Chains A and B, each alone.
Chain A
Amino acid sequence: DVKVTQSSRYLVKRTGEKVFLECVQDMDHENMFWYRQDPGLGLRLIYFSYDVKMKEKGDIPEGYSVSREKKERFSLILESASTNQTSMYLCATTDRGYNSPLHFGNGTRLTVT
C-alpha cells in the first residue's frame, strides 16, 4: 500500500509566520501535489511536482511556494501566513499511469490566527 505521510495533523500559526507543511511518500512516485480543501469549493490545486527540483503552479499558487529536494519529500511553504490561508491541506502522489488514482495523506488542518 502507498503511504503518504503529512507531518502534522493540526497546526496553529500566527499571521505573518513562515509555515512549512511536509509530505513524505514511500512509493517512489514521481508526481506529488498539494491541494487545499475548503467547504463548498472542493479541492483546489496549489502546486505540483513531476520530478526532483521540478515544480509547476496549480490553480491557486499565490502566497505559497514549494520545495522538492528529494523524490520522496514535497514541502509546501507559506511565506507569510494570512488568515485566508486557514484551511485543510492535502498532499497526494501518483505514478505515471494515466488511470492511476491519487493517493492522499491524512491532511493538515492549518489555522492562522
Chain B
Amino acid sequence: AQKITQTQPGMFVQEKEAVTLDCTYDTSDQSYGLFWYKQPSSGEMIFLIYQGSYDEQNATEGRYSLNFQKARKSANLVISASQLGDSAMYFCAMRVLISSGSARQLTFGSGTQLTVLP
C-alpha cells in the first residue's frame, strides 16, 4: 500500500519569501509519480507540478519547484517569492504505475495549510 505523509498541518510565510512544504512517501514500487495540488478557500483543486520517479531533474513550473530526493522518499514543494494569493491548502499525492486496466488513482496526504503574511 502507498502512503503520503505531510507533517506540517499549517505554515506561515512572509510575502516575497520562499517556503518549503514537506512531503514524504512510502512505496515499494519503483515506478511512480508525485503530484502537488493547491486548494484555495474557494475549494477547487488546482494541479501545480509533477515529478516522475525516473526523472533525473527536479521539476519546475514557474515559482514552483519540487525538491525530489528519491533515496529519502521525499518530494518537497518549494514556492519562491510567496504572494498573498498563495495562501491555500496544499496536497501532495502519489500514483503508482500498475498494469493497464487500472484507473490510475492518486493517494493523497492530509495537506498543509499555507498562510502568506503581508
Contact = CB atoms under 8 A, between A and B. Distances in A.
Interface in B43-80: 43-45, 47, 50, 52
B108 A43 contact: yes
Contact of B103 (A48, A88, A90): A48
A99 B44 contact: no
Contacts of B93: 43
Interface string A51-89: 000001010000000000000000000000000000010
Size category of the binding interface on chain A: 20 to 34
Contacts of A101: 35, 37, 47, 50
B60 to A, nearest CB: 15
B110 A90 contact: no
Q: Which of B31, B101, B106 has its CB near the most chain A CB atoms (within 10 A)?
A: B106
Given A40-B110, A42-B91, A31 B33 contact: no
Which of A43, A96, A103, A104 has the most B CB atoms < 10 Å from its CB? A43
Which secondary structure dominates where chain A touches chain B? strand
Given A98-B33, A99-B52, A101-B50, A31 B95 contact: no
B45 A90 contact: yes
Contacts of B37: 101
Contacts, number: 63
Chain B interface size, as a band, is 20 to 34
A106 interface: yes
A98 B96 CA distance: 9
Contacts of A100: 104
A106 B103 contact: no
Interface of A: 30-33, 35, 40-45, 48-50, 56, 58, 88, 90, 92, 94, 96, 98-104, 106-107
Closest 4 CB pairs of A and B: A104-B45, A50-B103, A101-B47, A43-B108
Given A98-B104, A102-B106, 5 more contacts: A33-B105, A42-B91, A45-B107, A50-B102, A56-B103
